[in-house]
Structure 1
Amino acid sequence: MHTACVVGTGLIGTSIALALTGRGVTTYLIDRDPDSVRIAAALGAGVPGPPPAPVDVAVIAVPPSEVARTIADHQKAELAQVYTDVSSVKALVHAECLALGCDTTGLVGGHPMAGGERSGPLTARADLFQDRHWILTPTPESRESALNRVLELVSLCGAVPVLLPPADHDRAVALVSHLPHLMASLTAARLVDGEEYAVRLAGRGMRDVTRTAAGDAGLWTDILAANAAALGPLLAELGRDLTTAARALARLTEDVPEQHTAALAELTGVLRRGSAGRARIAAPHGPAGADRHKVLSIAVGGPQRQLERLLGDVAEARVDLEGMVLPEAPAVPDATDGAVELWVARDVARPLTDALRDRGWAVR
């Protein structure tokens, strides 16, 4: 790949452009907002477009409702040889491309599983996709050469490709992305009418649960509407669990002791299912967690207080540990020999490594 064009210079588009430019790909930038293009270019993301000749690949980084029309327009203008997009909805977008008569032989849908609450080029960074999943949704009509070109794009951005049919993609992201965002927004909305003293008590738990609610409401309306078919059944399931929990809590407020045992059992059942679901994505050991975590090996020797100092330094770095493996118990009491393994999420592995090295630890 020698040339590329990114259409849409928001967070995702500009981050892709930064990654490609950093790998020596001549990258052109197009956006209907000229200021956005100017900012992205000033950040070093590429050259304001359009390109003088068709590029190797065009990345369409616009909202889902605009993807098909954008591809159709740029295919008519012969912007590129191969096209991909970054929309978080795939089946509807592909159907719209077919309806508009797009050439789908040179089109491979894509969705990098990375982002942030803030939007715009100023939030972009070249390493946004490093070690993150990037879903590709080729269809039977997609040329093998087109898929290979987009796989090269994913590789240049440092991401890990995952191939799925469009419908399977939409069901997956409805579960792990779209439903959580909607629930974060619904939970955060409760804060609007909350008592001021209560809102002031909000701590990390509430902030973590509602973090994604800060996203662009217009963009997320577009995303959720485009994936309504996959999201609807999940909301129905969630609604049944909410009804169960609400009914159990209501029965616990009634002065009917014989109902309390059954109500507590129902409530416990809902919470246990939640614990079981969380365990599927949180376990740091084994195949289920291997692709989401990094292991830092830190040499710790001498007295037990060395371990205490290490954990104190981790706490100061404000990083949550997913797990820890201690060396075998030393022969001398109150001593620590060997290396401690810290399991952390991939996106905090590098910051924690740097913080610990700054404090004098040998980290591998």
Structure 2
Amino acid sequence: MGTGLVGASVAQAMTRAGVEVHLQDARYSHAVVAASRGAGTLTSLDPAAYQLVVVAVPPGALAAVIAEALDTYPNATVTDVGSVKGVVLAQLRATGVDLARYCGSHPMAGSQKDGPLTASPDLFVDRTWVITPHDTSAAQSVLVVRRLAEMCGARLVTMAAQHHDEAVGQVSHIPQLMSALVAGGLLDVPAEHLQLAGQGLRDVTRIAAGDPKLWRQIIAANSGALRVELEELHEDLGKLIAVLDDPDAVEAFLARGRRGTQALPGKHGSAPSAWAEVVIEIPDAPGALARLFTDIETAGVNVEDITIEHDPGRPVGMLGVHVEPAASGVLATAMTDRGWTVRT
């Protein structure tokens, strides 16, 4: 129920896994597009025949649609993929509906883009999927939702609804607000100043391109947890302003931020690693990236991560290839030998 980016991607992954998927969307055109992209069929079954209903609608509509699904499909486990859980669960409980067949969930994957055209069956592969059972969730319903996440290739984490909302507020909703704050400030920056912007600013503001109408609902539903975080940030900003003329204090502030980046899980959820970066100039031309990665493969070097920064004055990009420190010299030499420009 709902065939936007996340809903259609879940449907594509399930269809690929051999599950018969039936699509619904308030915007019938979205369901048609999703079906055309391998997400399932637009046909309907007897309501009693459905085994699982995945609700993938905007946050403001979640409780009502979940309650409707529990009533309409009497034998189905019902889950949702919404990004806020506590408010939705409270709204459902207030209706008095039997919630034994409901178990919430939240795949931590998405994009600033939306709609079924952006969907992919691989969207959730190796991404975290939070399962949020409540105290009256039937064990079988929880198992069905866990199986759904596994079929989509995700890594499973189980949390209570309130714990989930606190966590996503810290790692998802606050970054969205901070990105919007910085991006909104760019409207007051002279155009000639914006010509100096590099990849760092684009990195910070990228997620601000998300749909404001969707994020309005997410923020409203999680305002309690976010208010606590924002008040702490307000206090930290005040401390920074107070010590701005003290170089030692500013360095300590920056060092704390650097340590924070190291607290994030690394590749495949492992501890963060210190990769070496080899920066290679790549032309903005068809096939250039494919040729570069073919040459890297030929060199026998494993790529751990990549970044790219575009040259504002020339049709080239600077591709930062992150590799094991011991392999950086081998890669730089191999790329130079194959005619690539390696920046030091």
User: Structure 2: 5+ residue runs without aligned partners?
Assistant: 276-297, 309-316, 332-338, 340-344
Between the aligned partners of 1:98 and 1:319, the Cα distance in structure 2 is 51
In structure 2, what is the equivalent of residue 288 of structure 1?
Answer: 271
Q: 1:278 aligns with which of 253, 261, 269?
A: 261
2:20 to 21, 26, 30: 26
Work out the CA distance in 2 between the residues paired with 1:318 and 1:15.
Answer: 31
Superposed CA deviations along residues 242-282 of structure 1, whole A, max 9, x for unmatched, are 11222333xx3xxxxxxxxxx22332232122111111116
Letter in 2 for 1:61: A
* 3-state SS of 2:26 partner: coil
* Length, aligned pairs only: 297
Query: Are 2:301 and 2:323, in contact at CA under 8 Å, matched by a contact in 1?
Result: no
Contact 1:51 1:79 in 2 (8 A): no
User: What is the CA-CA distance between 1:283 and the residue it aligns to?
Assistant: 5.1
- Counterpart of 1:324 in structure 2 is 324
| From 163, 169, 174, the counterpart of 2:164 | 169
- RMSD (CA atoms): 2.8
- State the TM-score, normalized to the length of structure 2: 0.79
Secondary structure, aligned partner of 2:23: strand
C-alpha separation between the residues in 1 aligned to 2:139 and 2:218?
28
CA distance in 1, matches of 2:242, 2:195: 29
Change (3 A) 1:308 1:103: closer
TM-score of the superposed pair, with normalisation by structure 1: 0.75
- Within a 5 Å distance, the mapping from 1:82-97 to structure 2 comes to 82-97=77-92
Distance between the aligned counterparts of 2:302 and 2:123, measured in 1? 29
Letter of the aligned partner of 2:243 in structure 1? A
Residue aligning to 1:186: 181
Residue in 1 aligned with 2:218? 223
Of all paired residues, the percent bearing the same amino acid is: 37
Task: Report whether the alignment pairs 1:52 with 2:46.
Answer: yes
2:60 aligns with 65
> Residue 323 of structure 1: CA displacement?
5.2
Q: Does the 8 Å CA contact 1:71/1:102 hold for their aligned counterparts?
A: no
Aligned to 1:128: 123
Q: Quickly say closer, same or farther: Cα 1:224–1:322, change in 2 above 3 A.
A: farther
> Would the alpha carbon gap of residues 32 and 193 (structure 1) be closer, same or farther in structure 2, given more than 3 Å must change?
same
SS at match of 1:135: strand
CA contact (8 A) 2:103 2:137 kept: yes
Unaligned residue ranges in structure 1 (runs of 5+): 1-6, 253-262, 294-305, 328-334, 341-358, 360-364
Change (3 A) 1:210 1:97: same
Larger Rg, first or second structure (1 or 2):
1
